Structure 1
Protein backbone atom coordinates (compact mmCIF):
# COMPACT_ATOMS: atom_id res chain seq x y z
CA UNK A 1 0.00 0.00 0.00
CA UNK A 2 2.83 2.36 0.85
CA UNK A 3 4.52 1.62 -2.48
CA UNK A 4 1.27 2.18 -4.29
CA UNK A 5 0.85 5.58 -2.64
CA UNK A 6 4.39 6.64 -3.55
CA UNK A 7 3.97 5.38 -7.11
CA UNK A 8 0.71 7.30 -7.46
CA UNK A 9 2.34 10.52 -6.19
CA UNK A 10 5.23 9.94 -8.61
CA UNK A 11 2.85 9.68 -11.57
CA UNK A 12 1.02 12.85 -10.55
CA UNK A 13 4.33 14.73 -10.31
CA UNK A 14 5.43 13.37 -13.68
CA UNK A 15 2.17 14.35 -15.32
CA UNK A 16 2.39 17.80 -13.78
CA UNK A 17 5.99 18.21 -14.94
CA UNK A 18 5.06 17.05 -18.44
CA UNK A 19 2.11 19.44 -18.59
CA UNK A 20 4.27 22.28 -17.34
CA UNK A 21 6.96 21.47 -19.91
CA UNK A 22 4.33 21.27 -22.70
CA UNK A 23 2.84 24.63 -21.70
CA UNK A 24 6.31 26.16 -21.53
CA UNK A 25 7.17 24.88 -25.02
CA UNK A 26 3.79 25.96 -26.36
CA UNK A 27 4.27 29.45 -24.96
CA UNK A 28 7.81 29.62 -26.34
CA UNK A 29 6.68 28.44 -29.80
CA UNK A 30 3.77 30.85 -29.77
CA UNK A 31 6.12 33.69 -28.87
CA UNK A 32 8.52 32.70 -31.65
CA UNK A 33 5.64 32.48 -34.16
CA UNK A 34 4.41 35.94 -33.15
CA UNK A 35 7.89 37.36 -33.53
CA UNK A 36 8.24 35.65 -36.94
CA UNK A 37 4.92 37.11 -38.10
CA UNK A 38 5.97 40.54 -36.87
CA UNK A 39 9.30 40.25 -38.68
CA UNK A 40 7.60 39.15 -41.91
CA UNK A 41 5.08 41.97 -41.64
CA UNK A 42 7.86 44.49 -41.04
CA UNK A 43 9.81 43.08 -43.98
CA UNK A 44 6.78 43.40 -46.27
CA UNK A 45 6.12 46.98 -45.11
CA UNK A 46 9.76 47.85 -45.65
CA UNK A 47 9.71 46.32 -49.17
CA UNK A 48 6.45 48.13 -49.98
CA UNK A 49 7.89 51.44 -48.81
CA UNK A 50 11.01 50.81 -50.86
CA UNK A 51 8.93 50.10 -54.00
CA UNK A 52 6.89 53.27 -53.49
CA UNK A 53 10.09 55.22 -52.99
CA UNK A 54 11.50 53.94 -56.28
CA UNK A 55 8.27 54.80 -58.08
CA UNK A 56 8.28 58.32 -56.64
CA UNK A 57 11.88 58.68 -57.75
CA UNK A 58 11.44 57.26 -61.26
CA UNK A 59 8.21 59.11 -62.18
CA UNK A 60 9.55 62.70 -62.05
CA UNK A 61 12.78 61.65 -63.78
CA UNK A 62 10.80 59.98 -66.57
CA UNK A 63 8.45 62.96 -66.89
CA UNK A 64 11.41 65.33 -67.10
CA UNK A 65 13.02 63.15 -69.77
CA UNK A 66 9.83 62.99 -71.83
CA UNK A 67 9.29 66.72 -71.49
CA UNK A 68 12.84 67.42 -72.65
CA UNK A 69 12.34 65.08 -75.62
CA UNK A 70 9.12 66.89 -76.57
CA UNK A 71 10.95 70.24 -76.46
CA UNK A 72 13.60 68.89 -78.82
CA UNK A 73 10.92 67.43 -81.13
CA UNK A 74 9.07 70.75 -81.16
CA UNK A 75 12.23 72.66 -82.11
CA UNK A 76 13.06 70.07 -84.79
CA UNK A 77 9.56 70.26 -86.28
CA UNK A 78 9.51 74.07 -86.28
CA UNK A 79 12.90 74.12 -88.02
CA UNK A 80 11.63 71.61 -90.57
CA UNK A 81 8.56 73.76 -91.32
CA UNK A 82 10.76 76.81 -91.83
CA UNK A 83 13.05 74.79 -94.10
CA UNK A 84 10.09 73.69 -96.23
CA UNK A 85 8.78 77.25 -96.43
CA UNK A 86 12.16 78.50 -97.54
CA UNK A 87 12.24 75.86 -100.30
CA UNK A 88 9.08 77.27 -101.87
CA UNK A 89 10.73 80.69 -102.15
CA UNK A 90 13.85 79.52 -103.97
CA UNK A 91 14.18 80.34 -107.70
CA UNK A 92 12.23 77.98 -109.95
CA UNK A 93 14.06 75.07 -111.56
CA UNK A 94 13.52 73.79 -115.07
CA UNK A 95 11.49 70.62 -115.34
CA UNK A 96 14.12 67.86 -114.94
CA UNK A 97 15.09 65.68 -117.89
CA UNK A 98 14.44 62.63 -115.73
CA UNK A 99 11.05 63.08 -114.07
CA UNK A 100 12.04 60.60 -111.34
CA UNK A 101 14.21 63.36 -109.88
CA UNK A 102 10.99 65.10 -108.81
CA UNK A 103 10.70 62.72 -105.85
CA UNK A 104 13.62 64.63 -104.29
CA UNK A 105 12.24 68.06 -105.19
CA UNK A 106 9.05 68.28 -103.13
CA UNK A 107 8.28 71.91 -102.18
CA UNK A 108 10.67 73.21 -104.84
CA UNK A 109 9.36 75.47 -107.60
CA UNK A 110 9.68 74.27 -111.18
CA UNK A 111 8.82 75.87 -114.53
CA UNK A 112 6.62 74.16 -117.10
CA UNK A 113 5.25 75.15 -120.52
CA UNK A 114 2.09 73.67 -121.98
CA UNK A 115 -1.71 73.79 -122.21
CA UNK A 116 -4.53 73.03 -119.79
CA UNK A 117 -7.20 70.46 -120.61
CA UNK A 118 -10.15 71.92 -118.70
CA UNK A 119 -12.47 69.13 -119.83
CA UNK A 120 -10.83 66.75 -117.34
CA UNK A 121 -10.90 68.86 -114.17
CA UNK A 122 -10.74 67.05 -110.83
CA UNK A 123 -11.65 68.49 -107.43
CA UNK A 124 -9.76 67.99 -104.17
CA UNK A 125 -11.54 68.82 -100.96
CA UNK A 126 -13.43 70.25 -99.28
CA UNK A 127 -10.62 72.66 -98.39
CA UNK A 128 -10.24 76.12 -96.89
CA UNK A 129 -8.60 78.83 -98.94
CA UNK A 130 -4.98 79.38 -97.94
CA UNK A 131 -3.39 82.81 -97.72
CA UNK A 132 0.40 82.72 -97.35
CA UNK A 133 0.22 79.09 -96.25
CA UNK A 134 -2.56 79.66 -93.69
CA UNK A 135 -6.33 79.27 -93.79
CA UNK A 136 -8.42 82.27 -94.81
CA UNK A 137 -10.12 84.07 -91.93
CA UNK A 138 -13.82 83.74 -91.25
CA UNK A 139 -14.64 87.10 -92.84
CA UNK A 140 -13.45 85.90 -96.25
CA UNK A 141 -10.47 87.85 -97.51
CA UNK A 142 -11.61 87.21 -101.06
CA UNK A 143 -15.27 88.01 -100.50
CA UNK A 144 -15.29 90.10 -103.65
CA UNK A 145 -14.66 86.99 -105.75
CA UNK A 146 -17.28 84.94 -103.94
CA UNK A 147 -14.79 83.29 -101.59
CA UNK A 148 -16.00 81.48 -98.47
CA UNK A 149 -14.25 79.26 -95.98
CA UNK A 150 -15.06 76.02 -97.77
CA UNK A 151 -14.41 75.00 -101.34
CA UNK A 152 -12.25 72.82 -103.57
CA UNK A 153 -8.86 72.78 -105.22
CA UNK A 154 -9.17 72.56 -109.00
CA UNK A 155 -6.81 69.89 -110.35
CA UNK A 156 -6.37 70.19 -114.13
CA UNK A 157 -4.32 68.07 -116.58
CA UNK A 158 -1.53 70.11 -118.21
CA UNK A 159 -0.01 68.86 -121.49
CA UNK A 160 3.70 69.66 -121.49
CA UNK A 161 4.99 71.20 -124.72
CA UNK A 162 8.38 69.49 -124.55
CA UNK A 163 7.22 66.07 -123.30
CA UNK A 164 4.88 63.43 -124.70
CA UNK A 165 2.69 63.43 -121.60
CA UNK A 166 0.56 65.53 -119.26
CA UNK A 167 0.92 66.27 -115.55
CA UNK A 168 -1.56 67.42 -112.92
CA UNK A 169 -1.68 71.06 -111.85
CA UNK A 170 -3.48 72.27 -108.74
CA UNK A 171 -4.63 75.58 -110.23
CA UNK A 172 -5.92 76.76 -106.86
CA UNK A 173 -9.01 77.18 -104.73
CA UNK A 174 -12.60 77.94 -105.72
CA UNK A 175 -15.63 78.35 -103.49
CA UNK A 176 -18.44 75.81 -103.46
CA UNK A 177 -20.63 77.94 -105.71
CA UNK A 178 -17.80 78.37 -108.26
CA UNK A 179 -16.94 74.68 -108.43
CA UNK A 180 -18.80 74.33 -111.71
CA UNK A 181 -16.50 75.48 -114.58
CA UNK A 182 -19.50 77.19 -116.24
CA UNK A 183 -19.51 79.71 -113.37
CA UNK A 184 -15.89 80.80 -114.08
CA UNK A 185 -15.49 80.66 -117.85
CA UNK A 186 -13.31 83.78 -117.87
CA UNK A 187 -10.78 82.01 -115.64
CA UNK A 188 -10.34 78.99 -117.91
CA UNK A 189 -6.96 79.88 -119.40
CA UNK A 190 -6.58 78.83 -123.06
CA UNK A 191 -3.51 78.33 -125.23
CA UNK A 192 0.11 77.64 -124.37
CA UNK A 193 1.40 79.26 -121.19
CA UNK A 194 4.46 79.16 -118.96
CA UNK A 195 3.67 78.27 -115.39
CA UNK A 196 5.52 77.98 -112.09
CA UNK A 197 4.40 75.48 -109.51
CA UNK A 198 5.50 73.77 -106.31
CA UNK A 199 6.22 70.05 -106.60
CA UNK A 200 3.90 67.85 -104.54
CA UNK A 201 4.10 64.13 -103.90
CA UNK A 202 1.29 61.69 -103.28
CA UNK A 203 -0.09 61.40 -99.76
CA UNK A 204 -1.47 58.58 -97.65
CA UNK A 205 -5.05 58.66 -96.51
CA UNK A 206 -5.21 60.89 -93.42
CA UNK A 207 -6.83 59.57 -90.27
CA UNK A 208 -10.64 59.96 -90.14
CA UNK A 209 -10.75 61.02 -93.82
CA UNK A 210 -13.13 59.15 -96.11
CA UNK A 211 -11.66 56.86 -98.78
CA UNK A 212 -11.29 58.17 -102.31
CA UNK A 213 -13.62 56.83 -104.99
CA UNK A 214 -11.37 55.86 -107.90
CA UNK A 215 -13.76 56.80 -110.74
CA UNK A 216 -15.01 60.04 -109.18
CA UNK A 217 -14.10 63.63 -110.06
CA UNK A 218 -14.03 64.46 -106.35
CA UNK A 219 -11.12 63.43 -104.16
CA UNK A 220 -10.61 63.65 -100.40
CA UNK A 221 -6.81 63.42 -100.45
CA UNK A 222 -3.95 63.50 -102.97
CA UNK A 223 -3.62 60.02 -104.50
CA UNK A 224 -1.52 60.79 -107.57
CA UNK A 225 -1.48 57.26 -108.98
CA UNK A 226 -5.26 56.92 -108.99
CA UNK A 227 -5.96 60.52 -110.04
CA UNK A 228 -3.52 60.41 -112.96
CA UNK A 229 -4.89 57.08 -114.17
CA UNK A 230 -8.40 58.56 -114.32
CA UNK A 231 -7.38 61.45 -116.61
CA UNK A 232 -4.51 59.74 -118.48
CA UNK A 233 -1.60 61.70 -116.95
CA UNK A 234 1.71 60.96 -115.34
CA UNK A 235 1.50 60.78 -111.50
CA UNK A 236 3.15 64.19 -111.16
CA UNK A 237 1.55 67.22 -109.53
CA UNK A 238 2.51 70.83 -108.92
CA UNK A 239 0.66 73.53 -106.98
CA UNK A 240 0.40 76.63 -109.16
CA UNK A 241 1.95 79.59 -107.33
CA UNK A 242 -0.15 82.57 -106.21
CA UNK A 243 1.19 84.68 -109.09
CA UNK A 244 -0.54 82.32 -111.52
CA UNK A 245 -4.02 83.41 -110.40
CA UNK A 246 -6.19 85.04 -113.07
CA UNK A 247 -9.39 87.09 -112.63
CA UNK A 248 -12.36 84.77 -112.34
CA UNK A 249 -10.15 81.69 -111.96
CA UNK A 250 -8.96 79.58 -109.03
CA UNK A 251 -6.85 81.28 -106.34
CA UNK A 252 -3.29 79.91 -106.65
CA UNK A 253 -0.68 79.47 -103.96
CA UNK A 254 -2.51 76.66 -102.15
CA UNK A 255 0.55 74.86 -100.83
CA UNK A 256 -0.17 74.03 -97.21
CA UNK A 257 3.14 73.84 -95.35
CA UNK A 258 2.18 72.55 -91.95
CA UNK A 259 3.01 69.56 -89.81
CA UNK A 260 0.99 68.27 -86.92
CA UNK A 261 2.54 70.00 -83.92
CA UNK A 262 1.09 69.10 -80.51
CA UNK A 263 4.39 69.15 -78.66
CA UNK A 264 3.50 72.23 -76.57
CA UNK A 265 0.51 70.45 -75.02
CA UNK A 266 2.65 67.35 -74.45
CA UNK A 267 5.36 69.44 -72.77
CA UNK A 268 2.76 70.95 -70.40
CA UNK A 269 1.31 67.48 -69.70
CA UNK A 270 4.68 65.98 -68.81
Structure 2
Protein backbone atom coordinates (compact mmCIF):
# COMPACT_ATOMS: atom_id res chain seq x y z
CA UNK A 1 0.00 0.00 0.00
CA UNK A 2 2.91 2.35 0.78
CA UNK A 3 4.62 1.58 -2.60
CA UNK A 4 1.43 2.46 -4.44
CA UNK A 5 1.25 5.73 -2.57
CA UNK A 6 4.87 6.61 -3.44
CA UNK A 7 4.30 5.85 -7.16
CA UNK A 8 1.24 8.01 -7.19
CA UNK A 9 3.14 10.83 -5.49
CA UNK A 10 5.89 10.64 -8.11
CA UNK A 11 3.41 10.77 -10.98
CA UNK A 12 1.70 13.78 -9.45
CA UNK A 13 5.00 15.62 -8.95
CA UNK A 14 5.97 15.04 -12.59
CA UNK A 15 2.64 16.17 -13.72
CA UNK A 16 2.87 19.37 -11.73
CA UNK A 17 6.33 20.25 -13.18
CA UNK A 18 5.07 20.11 -16.71
CA UNK A 19 3.43 23.19 -18.15
CA UNK A 20 -0.30 22.67 -18.19
CA UNK A 21 -3.13 24.82 -19.24
CA UNK A 22 -5.34 26.39 -16.67
CA UNK A 23 -7.67 24.04 -14.94
CA UNK A 24 -5.43 20.96 -15.44
CA UNK A 25 -4.21 21.03 -11.85
CA UNK A 26 -7.69 20.78 -10.52
CA UNK A 27 -8.40 17.73 -12.67
CA UNK A 28 -5.30 15.95 -11.45
CA UNK A 29 -5.97 16.83 -7.84
CA UNK A 30 -9.57 15.72 -8.15
CA UNK A 31 -8.47 12.38 -9.56
CA UNK A 32 -6.07 11.98 -6.65
CA UNK A 33 -8.74 12.85 -4.12
CA UNK A 34 -11.16 10.37 -5.61
CA UNK A 35 -8.51 7.68 -5.63
CA UNK A 36 -7.50 8.34 -2.03
CA UNK A 37 -11.16 8.39 -0.89
CA UNK A 38 -11.70 5.02 -2.52
CA UNK A 39 -8.69 3.62 -0.68
CA UNK A 40 -10.00 5.06 2.59
CA UNK A 41 -13.42 3.46 2.05
CA UNK A 42 -11.76 0.16 1.25
CA UNK A 43 -9.66 0.29 4.39
CA UNK A 44 -12.74 1.19 6.48
CA UNK A 45 -14.65 -1.73 4.99
CA UNK A 46 -11.75 -4.04 5.76
CA UNK A 47 -11.60 -2.85 9.35
CA UNK A 48 -15.37 -3.25 9.74
CA UNK A 49 -15.22 -6.73 8.30
CA UNK A 50 -12.45 -7.59 10.73
CA UNK A 51 -14.58 -6.39 13.73
CA UNK A 52 -17.88 -8.04 12.78
CA UNK A 53 -16.89 -11.60 13.74
CA UNK A 54 -15.94 -10.41 17.23
CA UNK A 55 -19.25 -8.63 17.68
CA UNK A 56 -21.14 -11.66 16.42
CA UNK A 57 -19.28 -13.91 18.82
CA UNK A 58 -20.05 -11.55 21.71
CA UNK A 59 -23.74 -11.50 20.78
CA UNK A 60 -23.91 -15.27 20.48
CA UNK A 61 -22.69 -15.65 24.08
CA UNK A 62 -25.58 -13.54 25.35
CA UNK A 63 -27.98 -15.57 23.22
CA UNK A 64 -26.73 -18.78 24.81
CA UNK A 65 -27.34 -17.44 28.30
CA UNK A 66 -30.88 -16.39 27.42
CA UNK A 67 -31.63 -19.80 25.95
CA UNK A 68 -30.68 -21.51 29.22
CA UNK A 69 -32.44 -18.96 31.44
CA UNK A 70 -35.95 -20.61 31.31
CA UNK A 71 -34.44 -23.96 32.24
CA UNK A 72 -32.69 -22.43 35.26
CA UNK A 73 -35.89 -20.69 36.42
CA UNK A 74 -38.03 -23.83 36.18
CA UNK A 75 -35.35 -25.84 37.99
CA UNK A 76 -35.39 -23.29 40.82
CA UNK A 77 -39.17 -23.50 41.07
CA UNK A 78 -39.00 -27.29 41.33
CA UNK A 79 -36.42 -27.04 44.11
CA UNK A 80 -38.61 -24.50 45.93
CA UNK A 81 -41.53 -26.96 45.85
CA UNK A 82 -39.33 -29.54 47.61
CA UNK A 83 -38.76 -27.15 50.53
CA UNK A 84 -42.46 -26.27 50.56
CA UNK A 85 -43.32 -29.96 50.79
CA UNK A 86 -41.03 -30.45 53.78
CA UNK A 87 -42.54 -27.46 55.58
CA UNK A 88 -46.09 -28.70 54.90
CA UNK A 89 -45.26 -32.15 56.30
CA UNK A 90 -43.92 -30.57 59.50
CA UNK A 91 -47.02 -28.38 59.91
CA UNK A 92 -49.47 -31.25 59.44
CA UNK A 93 -47.51 -33.53 61.79
CA UNK A 94 -47.52 -30.77 64.42
CA UNK A 95 -51.30 -30.38 64.15
CA UNK A 96 -51.87 -34.13 64.32
CA UNK A 97 -49.78 -34.51 67.46
CA UNK A 98 -51.60 -31.62 69.13
CA UNK A 99 -55.01 -33.08 68.29
CA UNK A 100 -54.04 -36.43 69.78
CA UNK A 101 -53.41 -34.89 73.21
CA UNK A 102 -55.92 -35.09 76.02
CA UNK A 103 -58.53 -32.30 76.01
CA UNK A 104 -58.00 -29.39 78.39
CA UNK A 105 -60.72 -27.95 80.62
CA UNK A 106 -61.19 -24.19 80.40
CA UNK A 107 -63.19 -23.74 83.62
CA UNK A 108 -60.37 -22.16 85.62
CA UNK A 109 -57.95 -21.07 82.90
CA UNK A 110 -57.15 -17.39 82.38
CA UNK A 111 -57.12 -16.11 78.81
CA UNK A 112 -53.83 -14.29 78.38
CA UNK A 113 -52.20 -13.84 74.99
CA UNK A 114 -49.30 -16.14 75.91
CA UNK A 115 -51.63 -18.97 76.93
CA UNK A 116 -53.72 -18.56 73.78
CA UNK A 117 -50.66 -19.08 71.57
CA UNK A 118 -49.85 -22.36 73.33
CA UNK A 119 -53.45 -23.60 72.99
CA UNK A 120 -53.77 -23.46 69.22
CA UNK A 121 -54.77 -26.82 67.73
CA UNK A 122 -55.33 -28.27 71.20
CA UNK A 123 -58.63 -29.94 72.03
CA UNK A 124 -60.47 -28.19 74.85
CA UNK A 125 -63.68 -28.78 76.81
CA UNK A 126 -65.76 -25.87 78.04
CA UNK A 127 -69.17 -25.53 79.64
CA UNK A 128 -71.48 -22.55 79.55
CA UNK A 129 -74.51 -20.92 77.94
CA UNK A 130 -74.67 -19.60 74.38
CA UNK A 131 -75.55 -15.94 73.93
CA UNK A 132 -77.33 -16.30 70.59
CA UNK A 133 -78.19 -12.61 70.45
CA UNK A 134 -74.52 -11.74 69.79
CA UNK A 135 -73.83 -14.34 67.11
CA UNK A 136 -71.55 -13.42 64.19
CA UNK A 137 -71.94 -14.96 60.73
CA UNK A 138 -68.84 -15.53 58.59
CA UNK A 139 -69.36 -16.01 54.90
CA UNK A 140 -70.81 -16.82 52.55
CA UNK A 141 -69.32 -20.30 52.70
CA UNK A 142 -70.54 -23.03 50.37
CA UNK A 143 -71.22 -26.61 51.43
CA UNK A 144 -71.93 -29.65 49.27
CA UNK A 145 -74.83 -31.74 50.59
CA UNK A 146 -75.68 -34.89 48.60
CA UNK A 147 -74.03 -33.43 45.53
CA UNK A 148 -75.95 -30.15 45.81
CA UNK A 149 -73.98 -26.99 46.65
CA UNK A 150 -75.68 -24.65 49.10
CA UNK A 151 -74.47 -21.28 50.34
CA UNK A 152 -74.43 -20.61 54.03
CA UNK A 153 -72.36 -19.20 56.86
CA UNK A 154 -70.24 -20.18 59.83
CA UNK A 155 -71.89 -18.98 63.02
CA UNK A 156 -69.70 -17.79 65.90
CA UNK A 157 -71.49 -17.40 69.24
CA UNK A 158 -70.11 -16.27 72.61
CA UNK A 159 -70.21 -18.94 75.32
CA UNK A 160 -70.95 -17.22 78.63
CA UNK A 161 -70.35 -18.40 82.18
CA UNK A 162 -73.11 -19.89 84.32
CA UNK A 163 -73.50 -17.98 87.60
CA UNK A 164 -72.74 -20.17 90.57
CA UNK A 165 -71.34 -23.02 88.48
CA UNK A 166 -67.65 -23.63 89.13
CA UNK A 167 -67.40 -26.04 86.21
CA UNK A 168 -68.42 -23.46 83.62
CA UNK A 169 -66.03 -21.09 81.90
CA UNK A 170 -65.05 -18.12 84.03
CA UNK A 171 -64.26 -15.95 81.01
CA UNK A 172 -66.36 -15.76 77.80
CA UNK A 173 -65.27 -17.91 74.88
CA UNK A 174 -66.06 -17.54 71.18
CA UNK A 175 -67.30 -20.78 69.65
CA UNK A 176 -67.42 -21.48 65.92
CA UNK A 177 -70.45 -23.75 66.09
CA UNK A 178 -70.28 -24.79 62.42
CA UNK A 179 -72.15 -24.27 59.18
CA UNK A 180 -75.72 -22.99 58.99
CA UNK A 181 -77.92 -22.20 55.96
CA UNK A 182 -78.66 -18.67 54.83
CA UNK A 183 -82.07 -18.71 56.55
CA UNK A 184 -80.37 -18.72 59.96
CA UNK A 185 -78.67 -15.41 59.23
CA UNK A 186 -81.87 -13.88 57.88
CA UNK A 187 -83.78 -14.86 61.02
CA UNK A 188 -81.08 -13.39 63.25
CA UNK A 189 -81.57 -10.02 61.56
CA UNK A 190 -85.31 -10.17 62.24
CA UNK A 191 -84.91 -10.83 66.00
CA UNK A 192 -83.57 -7.35 66.92
CA UNK A 193 -86.62 -5.73 65.25
CA UNK A 194 -88.98 -7.87 67.34
CA UNK A 195 -87.02 -6.97 70.47
CA UNK A 196 -87.30 -3.27 69.69
CA UNK A 197 -91.09 -3.60 69.25
CA UNK A 198 -91.48 -5.48 72.51
CA UNK A 199 -89.30 -2.97 74.35
CA UNK A 200 -91.37 -0.07 72.96
CA UNK A 201 -94.57 -1.76 74.11
CA UNK A 202 -93.13 -2.30 77.57
CA UNK A 203 -92.21 1.40 77.73
CA UNK A 204 -95.89 2.52 77.47
CA UNK A 205 -96.87 3.91 80.92
CA UNK A 206 -99.85 2.31 82.65
CA UNK A 207 -102.75 4.31 84.06
CA UNK A 208 -102.49 5.25 87.79
CA UNK A 209 -105.25 2.87 88.88
CA UNK A 210 -103.61 0.01 87.08
CA UNK A 211 -100.02 0.55 88.27
CA UNK A 212 -100.35 -1.98 91.09
CA UNK A 213 -101.68 -4.62 88.78
CA UNK A 214 -98.96 -3.74 86.27
CA UNK A 215 -96.26 -4.15 88.90
CA UNK A 216 -97.62 -7.55 89.87
CA UNK A 217 -97.67 -8.58 86.22
CA UNK A 218 -94.17 -7.22 85.66
CA UNK A 219 -92.78 -9.07 88.67
CA UNK A 220 -94.39 -12.29 87.47
CA UNK A 221 -92.91 -11.72 84.04
CA UNK A 222 -89.41 -11.18 85.45
CA UNK A 223 -89.78 -14.30 87.58
CA UNK A 224 -90.80 -16.28 84.51
CA UNK A 225 -87.74 -15.02 82.62
CA UNK A 226 -85.49 -16.04 85.51
CA UNK A 227 -87.10 -19.47 85.64
CA UNK A 228 -86.60 -19.86 81.91
CA UNK A 229 -82.99 -18.76 82.26
CA UNK A 230 -82.39 -21.29 85.01
CA UNK A 231 -84.22 -23.93 83.00
CA UNK A 232 -81.86 -23.44 80.06
CA UNK A 233 -79.60 -26.41 80.00
CA UNK A 234 -75.93 -25.67 79.85
CA UNK A 235 -73.94 -26.92 76.89
CA UNK A 236 -70.60 -28.65 76.93
CA UNK A 237 -68.51 -27.82 73.90
CA UNK A 238 -65.65 -30.01 72.72
CA UNK A 239 -63.58 -28.05 70.28
CA UNK A 240 -60.17 -27.07 69.02
CA UNK A 241 -58.50 -23.76 69.81
CA UNK A 242 -57.91 -21.74 66.67
CA UNK A 243 -56.59 -18.35 65.64
CA UNK A 244 -57.50 -15.77 63.03
CA UNK A 245 -57.65 -16.62 59.33
CA UNK A 246 -55.21 -15.16 56.79
CA UNK A 247 -57.38 -14.02 53.88
CA UNK A 248 -56.13 -13.84 50.32
CA UNK A 249 -56.01 -10.62 48.33
CA UNK A 250 -59.32 -11.53 46.68
CA UNK A 251 -61.28 -11.63 49.98
CA UNK A 252 -63.01 -8.32 50.83
CA UNK A 253 -62.32 -6.55 54.08
CA UNK A 254 -64.65 -7.10 57.04
CA UNK A 255 -67.22 -4.42 57.80
CA UNK A 256 -68.30 -4.78 61.45
CA UNK A 257 -70.63 -1.77 61.26
CA UNK A 258 -72.85 -3.45 58.66
CA UNK A 259 -72.37 -6.97 60.05
CA UNK A 260 -70.43 -8.20 57.02
CA UNK A 261 -67.75 -10.72 58.02
CA UNK A 262 -65.88 -12.47 55.22
CA UNK A 263 -63.10 -14.10 57.24
CA UNK A 264 -62.35 -14.87 60.87
CA UNK A 265 -60.62 -12.03 62.71
CA UNK A 266 -60.73 -13.06 66.37
CA UNK A 267 -59.85 -9.72 68.04
CA UNK A 268 -62.27 -7.77 65.82
CA UNK A 269 -65.08 -10.29 66.38
CA UNK A 270 -64.50 -10.21 70.13
CA UNK A 271 -64.69 -6.41 70.22
CA UNK A 272 -67.86 -6.49 68.09
CA UNK A 273 -69.42 -8.87 70.63
CA UNK A 274 -68.40 -6.65 73.55
CA UNK A 275 -65.68 -9.03 74.74
CA UNK A 276 -61.95 -8.51 75.37
CA UNK A 277 -59.58 -8.71 72.40
CA UNK A 278 -57.74 -11.73 73.84
CA UNK A 279 -60.90 -13.85 73.91
CA UNK A 280 -60.28 -17.47 72.92
CA UNK A 281 -61.87 -18.92 69.78
CA UNK A 282 -62.59 -22.64 69.54
CA UNK A 283 -64.11 -24.63 66.69
CA UNK A 284 -66.78 -27.11 67.70
CA UNK A 285 -65.93 -30.65 66.57
CA UNK A 286 -68.58 -32.47 68.60
CA UNK A 287 -70.25 -35.03 66.35
CA UNK A 288 -73.11 -35.79 68.76
CA UNK A 289 -75.76 -33.42 67.44
CA UNK A 290 -79.53 -33.63 67.51
CA UNK A 291 -80.93 -35.18 64.26
CA UNK A 292 -84.17 -33.21 64.64
CA UNK A 293 -82.17 -29.95 64.66
CA UNK A 294 -78.99 -30.70 62.68
CA UNK A 295 -77.83 -27.10 62.38
CA UNK A 296 -75.23 -25.85 63.03
CA UNK A 297 -73.14 -28.61 61.43
CA UNK A 298 -69.80 -28.80 63.31
CA UNK A 299 -66.54 -28.93 61.41
CA UNK A 300 -64.95 -32.26 60.66
CA UNK A 301 -61.78 -32.76 62.70
CA UNK A 302 -60.07 -34.17 59.60
CA UNK A 303 -60.35 -30.76 57.96
CA UNK A 304 -57.88 -29.44 60.54
CA UNK A 305 -55.16 -31.78 59.33
CA UNK A 306 -55.96 -31.13 55.69
CA UNK A 307 -54.60 -28.31 53.56
CA UNK A 308 -55.61 -26.91 50.19
CA UNK A 309 -52.18 -28.00 48.92
CA UNK A 310 -51.09 -31.32 50.41
CA UNK A 311 -47.51 -32.71 50.37
CA UNK A 312 -48.41 -35.00 47.46
CA UNK A 313 -49.46 -31.95 45.46
CA UNK A 314 -46.09 -30.29 46.14
CA UNK A 315 -44.39 -33.46 44.91
CA UNK A 316 -46.43 -33.37 41.70
CA UNK A 317 -45.50 -29.73 41.21
CA UNK A 318 -41.83 -30.61 41.71
CA UNK A 319 -41.92 -33.31 39.03
CA UNK A 320 -43.73 -30.95 36.66
CA UNK A 321 -41.20 -28.14 37.07
CA UNK A 322 -38.22 -30.49 36.74
CA UNK A 323 -39.68 -32.07 33.60
CA UNK A 324 -40.26 -28.64 32.09
CA UNK A 325 -36.71 -27.60 33.00
CA UNK A 326 -35.25 -30.70 31.31
CA UNK A 327 -37.34 -30.11 28.19
CA UNK A 328 -36.38 -26.44 27.88
CA UNK A 329 -32.69 -27.17 28.49
CA UNK A 330 -32.72 -29.93 25.86
CA UNK A 331 -34.28 -27.52 23.35
CA UNK A 332 -31.55 -24.98 24.12
CA UNK A 333 -28.81 -27.57 23.44
CA UNK A 334 -30.58 -28.62 20.27
CA UNK A 335 -30.71 -25.01 19.13
CA UNK A 336 -26.96 -24.47 19.68
CA UNK A 337 -25.76 -27.81 18.29
CA UNK A 338 -25.82 -26.84 14.55
CA UNK A 339 -23.77 -23.71 15.24
CA UNK A 340 -21.11 -25.71 17.10
CA UNK A 341 -20.82 -28.32 14.32
CA UNK A 342 -20.35 -25.66 11.63
CA UNK A 343 -17.50 -24.10 13.53
TM-score bracket for this pair, using the shorter chain length: 0.7 to 0.9
Contact 1:151 1:173 in 2 (8 A): yes
Q: Distance in 2 between matches of 1:224 and 1:267?
A: 39
Query: Does residue 171 in structure 1 map to residue 185 in structure 2?
Result: no
Query: Does residue 252 in structure 1 map to residue 271 in structure 2?
Result: no
Name the TM-score, length of structure 1 as normaliser: 0.73
Query: Does residue 10 in structure 1 map to residue 18 in structure 2?
Result: yes
Q: How many Å apart are 1:29 and its aligned residue?
A: 2.4
- Residues 211, 22 of structure 1: CA spacing in aligned structure 2 closer, same or farther, 3 A cutoff? closer
| Map of 1:209 onto structure 2 | 251
Select which of 238, 241, 244 maps to 2:285.
241
Q: How many Å apart are 1:50 and its aligned residue?
A: 1.1
Higher helix share: 2
Equivalences, count: 244
Q: Distance in 1 between matches of 2:169 and 2:319?
A: 51
Q: State the structure with bigger RCO (CA 8 A, min sep 6), 1 or 2.
A: 2
| Map of 1:118 onto structure 2 | 132
Contact 2:127 2:169 in 1 (8 A): no
Select which of 89, 92, 96 maps to 1:81.
92
Q: How does 1:40-55 map to 2 (within 5 A)?
A: 40-55=51-66
Cα shift readout 1:225-244 (whole Å, capped 9, x = no counterpart): 22212222243210011335
Q: How many Å apart are 1:210 and its aligned residue?
A: 2.5
Q: Which structure 2 residue ranges, 5 or more long, are not aligned?
A: 1-13, 163-167, 189-230, 325-343
Name the TM-score, length of structure 2 as normaliser: 0.59
- Residues 98, 156 of structure 1: CA spacing in aligned structure 2 closer, same or farther, 3 A cutoff? closer
Q: How many Å apart are 1:90 and its aligned residue?
A: 3.1
Q: How many Å apart are 1:218 and its aligned residue?
A: 4.7
Q: How does 1:31-180 map to 2 (within 5 A)?
A: 31-95=42-106, 96-100=109-113, 101-129=115-143, 136=144, 139=147, 149-161=150-162, 164-179=170-185, 180=187
Higher strand share: 1
What stretches of structure 1 move > 4 A for 4+ residues in a row? 6-9, 14-25, 161-164, 262-267
RMSD: 3.5
Q: Which structure 1 residue ranges, 5 or more long, are not aligned?
A: 1-5, 130-135, 141-147, 182-188
